[in-house]
Amino acid sequence: MNGSAYGKAEGMKATLIHGTHDIRVSSDVPDPVIRDDTDAIVRVLRSCICGSDLWPYNSADDNPQGDRIGHEFLGVIEEVGSGVRNRTAGQLVAPFVWADNTCDFCAQGLQTSCRHGGGWGSDGTDGGQGEAVRVPFADGTLVPMPGEPDDALLASMLTLSDVFSTGHHAAVSARVRRGDTVAVVGDGAVGLCAVLAAKRLGAERIILLGRHTDRTDLGREFGATDVVAERGDEAVEKVRELTGGDGVDAALECVGYVEAIRTAIEVTKDGRLVGRVGVSQYSDIPLGVGEFMRNVGVHGGVAPARAYIEELLPDVLEGRIQPGRVFDRTIGLDEVPDGYRAMNDREALKVLIKP
Amino acid sequence: MNGSAYGKAEGMKATLIHGTHDIRVSSDVPDPVIRDDTDAIVRVLRSCICGSDLWPYNSADDNPQGDRIGHEFLGVIEEVGSGVRNRTAGQLVAPFVWADNTCDFCAQGLQTSCRHGGGWGSDGTDGGQGEAVRVPFADGTLVPMPGEPDDALLASMLTLSDVFSTGHHAAVSARVRRGDTVAVVGDGAVGLCAVLAAKRLGAERIILLGRHTDRTDLGREFGATDVVAERGDEAVEKVRELTGGDGVDAALECVGYVEAIRTAIEVTKDGRLVGRVGVSQYSDIPLGVGEFMRNVGVHGGVAPARAYIEELLPDVLEGRIQPGRVFDRTIGLDEVPDGYRAMNDREALKVLIKP
C-alpha cells in the first residue's frame, strides 16, 4: 500500500524542538500517512509533556529544521493499513514506544527493546505532541481502551502510556512485595506515580522524599505515609531513623541525578534492590564495597509501558486509582512552548495537552 | 559458663597476617575457649585460602601483633557451650560467617547481614586458617554434615563454606533460569564454581571469560560450553558474536575489578541482571544511560553461604558435582605463607590446608 494515497495536502499542527529552550508549534507539518501496511494513523485526543522531555529542552543543539517531540499520548484510530488485523478505525488507544509485540523481547514484556520497535520521533515517525501520529505495528503498539471516558478518566488513561507505567516499572524493578516498606526518591509526576504503584502492589509504608509541599501532599493522597524533605546524607539518616536503622525493602529512584540514586542505594535494606526509572544523567552508580557487603543492587530503566497497560487499566477504569491527578495544568497545542517553560520552572507538575 | 574452665595452656598453631605479603604461622596462639554459652569449639579438619584473602595480602598495613585470617573451613565440634541445643561434639560441620540464623535477615537467607553475626577474625573470634576456632552461635552458624568422607569429598564439602556457595550466589543474584545462556567473567576458583553452579541450575550455554588454559579447561569440565580469552571490548564483541548480538541472559562477575564488571554489564542482554560476587575493588559501577535504555541491572555481593549449604550439600555428597576440584595444591599449616604467595603468583588456583 502506497502511503501517498493517504496524504492530505493541508498539513497539521505539531510540536517541534529546535534547540535548548526552543520549542515551537508548527501548523504545516505534513499529515501522517500510512507508509507500511501495518501502520495506523491515530488522531491525538490527549498528549502531555514528560519530565524526560525536559532533558532535551535543556540541552538540545540548535536545529533549524526541528525534531518532532512527545511520546505520551492517547487517541482514536483514524485509519489502518491493509496488514493491520486486530485494530480498527474508531478505537481509543494508548501507545508508548512502538513495538511489534511479537518478538522475544516483547514476549518477555520488554517492548522498549523490541527488535523492530523504536521511539516516537525516530525513524521518520511522528511525535506525540501534535494532532495526529503515524503508528508503526498498530497491532502490537496500540492497546485498545473501552468507552467514552470523561476528562478525568481520559487523563488517568493517558498516564498508562508512560508516567504511571513508569512508576509501576520502578516498583516492579525493585520487586516491591505486599507489606513492604518503600522509599520513593523524587516528588515529580513519576515519583508520585511510583507512590501510587507501590501502594497498589501492597506496600504498607511508603516514604516519599521530596520538598515541594503541594506535590508531597498529593503523594500523601496517593499513599505516602511519610514525607522526608531533607536531601543527601540528612535524607538517608531520616529514612534510616524511620525504619529502625534498617532502611527500606525497596527504593524507587525517580529523578535521574546521581545524588538521587546514591540516596536510593543508601536507604535500601541489605539484600534488596533499587528500582531506577529516572532517566540517568550519570554514567556511574555508587555501588562499592559497602553495598557489596550489604548485597544491595540496582535494576530498572526505561519502562516497557506496553507490558503493563492491560494489567493497570482495570484499576484506572474502575476508579480505584487516579494517576491522572498528576496533571495540574491543561493547555492547547499553541501553548506547548509555555507548558515546557512552566514544567521546567516547576510552576507546573505535569502539563496535559488537548490538541 | 566461664570460658576459662575450657582454657588450655599449651597454645595452638594459627595463621596471622602482619602486613602486605607478611603472613606468618604462630605456634603459640591461645587455644580457643567457650566464651558465650552459645559457642562451640571446632577442630579444623580442612581450611583453605580464599581469593578474597589476597586483597589484604596485597594491601594490609604493618601490624606487629598480627590479625587472625581465614574464613573457609570445615571441622569437627570438640565441645559446645551449655546453651547450644542442636549441635554436639563429634559432628562434622562447615561454617562461613557466624550468624544466629534466627533474626529476620537470616530468615530471609541473608546471614551475611545477621543482626548478631560477624566475620571470622573480627570481634575476638578466631580465623579459619588454624588448628581450632571458637564459633559463636553454634546452633545457627554450624551446618552438620554426615559421614566419614574421603579426601576428595571433604574438599568438595569445604567449598560449601564459601567458594562454591559464592559461585552459586552469583547465579542466584543474576536469576539464572533453566535454559539460560550465561557468561562467567573470571577463571579463578569462584568463576569456575560459578560455571558449575550455573550448570547445576540448568543453564544451557555457559561462556567462560578467562585466559588461563589450565583453569578454563577445568571450567569446560564444570560445564562451560565456550571460552573467551579476549578481554575488554574484544571480549564483549566476542560474547555478543556468540549470542547472535544479544548478549547473555545472566552474567556472573567473579573478579572484583571495574573492568570485569563493565564487561559483565556490556555482555548482558536487555532486561537482565549481572550477579556480582567479586569483592569490589571499585566504588562505582558503569550503569549509565545506555544500560538504562537496556534495563540492565546489578545485584549480588558477599555470599550468604549459610543459606545455600543445605540445598547444595546433597549434590556434593552424592557426587553429582565436585567443586573440590578447584583445589590444585594441598599444604600443611606451616606452608600457608607459601600458599598465599603461590595463589598470588597464580601458580596455584586454590590452596587447601590440612592443619
Q: Is the dihedral of CA B248, B203, A296, B159 positive or negative?
A: negative
> What is the reported pLDDT for A305?
96
Contact B299 A297 (CB under 8 A): yes
Give the whole-angstrom CA distance, residue B352 versus residue A81: 69
Q: Is A59 on the interface with B (CB under 8 A)?
A: no
Contact A108 B271 (CB under 8 A): yes
ipTM of the complex: 0.94
Mean pLDDT throughout A32-53? 96
Cβ within 8 Å of residue A345, ≥6 positions away: none
Q: Is A304 on the interface with B (CB under 8 A)?
A: yes
Q: Is B268 on the interface with A (CB under 8 A)?
A: no
Let me know: does B267 contact A279? Beta carbons within 8 Å. no
Please provide the average confidence, as pLDDT, over all residues in chain A. Answer: 94
**By C-alpha distance, which of B134, B46, B50 is closest to B343?**
B50
Nearest CB to B301: which of A280, A285, A295?
A295
Q: Which amino acid is at A267?
A: V
Q: List CB contacts (< 8 A) between B112 and chain A.
A: 270, 293, 295
Contact B280 A288 (CB under 8 A): yes
Question: Can you read off the three cell numbers belonging to residue A327?
Answer: 496533571
> What is the reported pLDDT for A2?
30
> What is the reported pLDDT for A255?
96
Find the helix or strand (DSSP H, E) in which B193 lies.
helix B189-200
> What is the reported pLDDT for B3?
35
For cell 501520529, the residue is A133
Q: What is the CATH number of domain A3-162+304-353?
A: 3.90.180.10
Quick one: pLDDT band at residue A123, thresholds 50, 70, 90?
A: confident
Residue in chain B closest to A295 (alpha carbons) equals B301
Tell me which of B295, B296, B306, B308 to substitute to probe the interface with A (most A C-beta atoms closer than 10 Å).
B295
Instruction: Say whether pLDDT at A118 is over 70.
Output: yes
How far apart are the CA of B296 and the nearest CA of chain A, in angstroms?
6
Q: Is B299 on the interface with A (CB under 8 A)?
A: yes
Q: Is B244 on the interface with A (CB under 8 A)?
A: no
| Cβ burial, residue A315 (10 Å; 0-12/13-18/19+) | middle
Give the whole-angstrom CA distance, residue A42 versus residue A331: 20
What would be the CATH architecture of the domain defined by B3-162+304-354? Alpha-Beta Complex (3.90)
Instruction: Say whether pLDDT at A228 is over 90.
Output: yes
> What is the reported pLDDT for B278?
95
Tell me which of A105, A108, A268, A289 to substitute to probe the interface with B (most B C-beta atoms closer than 10 Å).
A289
Q: What is the CATH number of domain B173-300?
A: 3.40.50.720
Q: List CB contacts (< 8 A) between B304 and chain A.
A: 295
Q: Is A245 on the interface with B (CB under 8 A)?
A: no
Let me know: does B231 contact B208? Beta carbons within 8 Å. no
> What is the reported pLDDT for A131?
97
What would be the CATH architecture of the domain defined by A168-300? 3-Layer(aba) Sandwich (3.40)
How far apart are the CA of B303 and the nearest CA of chain A, in angstroms?
8
Mean pLDDT throughout A223-237? 97
Of A42-51, A276-285, B91-100, B217-226, the least confident: B91-100
| A226-228 and A205-209 strand pairing | parallel
Find the helix or strand (DSSP H, E) in which B351 lies.
strand B351-354
Q: List CB contacts (< 8 A) between A168 and chain B.
A: none
**By C-alpha distance, which of A287, A273, A267 is closest to A174?**
A273
Instruction: Say whether pLDDT at A5 is over 50.
Output: no
Instruction: Report how far apart, in Å, the C-alpha atoms of A170 and of each of A185, A273, B229 are.
Output: 11, 10, 37
> What is the reported pLDDT for B280?
94
Percent of residues, chain A, with pLDDT higher than 90: 93
Q: Is the dihedral of CA A75, A79, A81, A85 positive or negative?
A: positive
The residue ranges of every structural domain in chain A are 3-162+304-353, 168-300
Q: Which positions 146-175 of B are in contact with A (Cβ < 8 Å)?
A: 173
Enumerate residue ranges in chain B where pLDDT < 70.
1-9
> What is the reported pLDDT for A6?
39
